[in-house]
Amino acid sequence: MESAIPDHLRQQRQCPATTPAHYQPPFPAWSSRFSPLTGQVVMACFGVQGRDGIALSDLAPITERFSMADGPLFWDGAECVDAQGFHTGIAIAYWADVQAFARWQQTCGFTAWWQHEARERGPLGWFMEVVCPTAERFETVFSSPDRAEGIGHLASHVSAPILEHGYWGSARDRLPIAQVDPLPGRAPASVPPPHGKRVRLPGRDNLCLIRSGQDWSDTRGEERRLYLNDVRPVLETGMTFLRDQGGDIGCLSCRFMQAVDRSGLPIDKSFGLAWFDDLAHLERWAKTHPTHVAIFGGFMNYVQTLNFQIQLRLYHEVAVIPASAQFFEYVNCHPGSGLLSR
C-alpha cells in the first residue's frame, strides 16, 4: 500500500491529514500516476444545448477538430437534461499540455468558428468550461486498476492500492496542494449580472470541480438488478438535488450525465459533473447532507450484500483550481446554464 500523493509531490505538511491512526481501508482503490506531468493540464468541457433533443453529432463542429494537430489525448461524450428542461450534449476533452491546447484552438480553426457571430443565433446554445490545474491541484481514485476514465487516460500507469480513501476527508488528503494550503474559496469581485448573447465569467479562486463516475457495463444478474433498482435511483436523487437546490449548500452547477459512445448511443456509464464554491463545500455535502448520506449508505449496503465481490466500477477526479486557470464562456445559452446563474 502507498500514498495517493506520488513521491515527487510530497512535502512537509502544514495542514494535517485526517487519515485515522493505523487505518486500513475496507476495500482497495487506486490512483492515476503520471510520468510526471509538468505544467498545467487541460480539462475542457465543450457543450451544446437546445429545447429539443440534442445528439453528440450536434457537437461535430468541435469534435471533428479533435483529430487535428495538437488535439486532445482523450475525450468522451455525454448528455443530460438541465433544470430548465434544455437538452445538453457535452464533450469533455483532456490535454497534458496547455500550450498544445492553445495551438489547437488556433490552428484547427476552432477559435474562428467559436467567435463567429453565427454562434449567437439560432436554436442552439454553446458553452466552454475549461480549467487548467497543475498536477498538485487534482487527484483521482478508481475502484479498479484496469480501466482508465477521464484524466486517467493521460496517466502512464496506476499506483499500488492507496491508503487515503474510504473515510471522510480522504479526497483532501489525496490532493498534493492540500498538504500546505487549506484551499479556501473566494468568490470573484462583484460584477454586473451577465447579459447579452455571449457571456464570459470571471474565475473563482479555489473553485472545486468533481467528476464522479459509475460503470455498470460488467454487472450481471443480481448485481445488475441491485445497482439499477436500489443504488442508481438514490444517486439520481442526490444529483437532482445538487442540480436544482445545490446553490444553498455551495454547489454552483451539477449535471448528471449519461455517457454515450462515439456514435451517440447510450452506454452503461454515467457521471456527475459538479462545480462547488470550494472543496470544503463539497466535503460538507458528502459528509452531512441526507442526499449523499443515502448514496453512501446505499453503496455500502450494495457491496456488503455482494460480499464486496462486485463488477461495478467507480471513479472520480477532483480538481481545485485558481481563478487565473479558469475560462467559462456561454454563447446563446439560457440564463440558468452552468455557472451563469451563480
Residues 293-315 have pLDDT tens digits of 999 888 889 988 998 889 999 99
**What separation in angstroms does the CA of 269 have from each of 53, 166, 194?**
20, 22, 34
Q: 330 pairs with which residues across the strands?
A: 127, 199
Asked whether the beta carbons of 325 and 132 are under 8 A apart, the reply is yes
Where does residue 55 rank: exposed (0-12), middle (13-18), buried (19+ CB within 10 A)? middle
> CA 228, 229, 230, 232: dihedral to nearest 10 degrees?
40
Asked whether the beta carbons of 19 and 167 are under 8 A apart, the reply is yes
Ranges of residues in the chain with a pLDDT under 50 are: none
Asked whether the beta carbons of 124 and 330 are under 8 A apart, the reply is no
pLDDT in the model for residue 193: 61
Residues with catalytic roles: 316
Report DSSP state, residue 154. Answer: G
Q: Find the DSSP H helices in the chain.
A: 60-63, 98-107, 110-115, 170-174, 221-226, 232-245, 279-288, 290-305
pTM given for the model? 0.95
